[in-house]
Amino acid sequence: MSYDLYIWDPTRHAPLPSSDAEAYDTKERLSELADGRNFTLTEFGNALVQKFAANPAISAGALEAFWGADPRVTIAESKFAAFCLRLPTRECTQQIAYAVEAAAALGLVVFDDNYGCCFLPDGNILPEDMKAIWASDLAEMQADAADPSRKKTDGRNIWQRIAGELVDAIGRGNPSR
């Protein structure tokens, strides 16, 4: 099962979304809109490969194992305005972080299709309540990198924690409990 991120250039096809619903609608529209080669997306693919190569902890493995495929190739083959980066694993915080960082540097938008959140080039995240959760996951990822023997606090990723908090909140509102 893959984990999908959609990346697009807001200066070329759409203004920056102002809500997660608007980001979703833009992703849907642009993922079906035929488009020619986008050199900013080409630069994005190159940046992803450079980030992979610059990290000795991961670059010893295969590029395709980390990204799912060579991003330079999949971007070159893409025929749509929104490029779909299919990550090969559900545990992909590091890949998402690399993609978000590379996209922001190039003014691109990243939409996380699995959870419906959108990373804007200025660092904002839609919906806004995702920003604190994403910051927590990044801090945990960086702590894990600094100390590989460190165990995650509860073993859940960002999305599992969100789902758990949502279930807890719904349960607290249920008087039959």
Q: How confident is the model at residue 45 (pLDDT cuts 50, 70, 90)?
A: very high
Run of H or E including 76: helix 71-77
User: Bridge partners of 83?
Assistant: 7
The pLDDT score that the predictor gives to residue 154 is: 54
Q: How confident is the model at residue 162 (pLDDT cuts 50, 70, 90)?
A: confident
The pLDDT score that the predictor gives to residue 100 is: 97
Q: How confident is the model at residue 177 (pLDDT cuts 50, 70, 90)?
A: very low
Residue among 142, 139, 140 at smallest CA distance from 153: 140
Gap between the Cα atoms of 163 and 169, Å rounded:
10
Q: What pTM, to 2 d.p., does this model score?
A: 0.79
Dihedral angle sign, alpha carbons of residues 54, 2, 155, 132: positive
User: Bridge partners of 163?
Assistant: none
Instruction: Decide if pLDDT at 152 tops 60.
Output: no
Instruction: Decide if pLDDT at 140 tops 90.
Output: no
Q: How confident is the model at residue 149 (pLDDT cuts 50, 70, 90)?
A: low
Average pLDDT score over residue span 105-109: 98
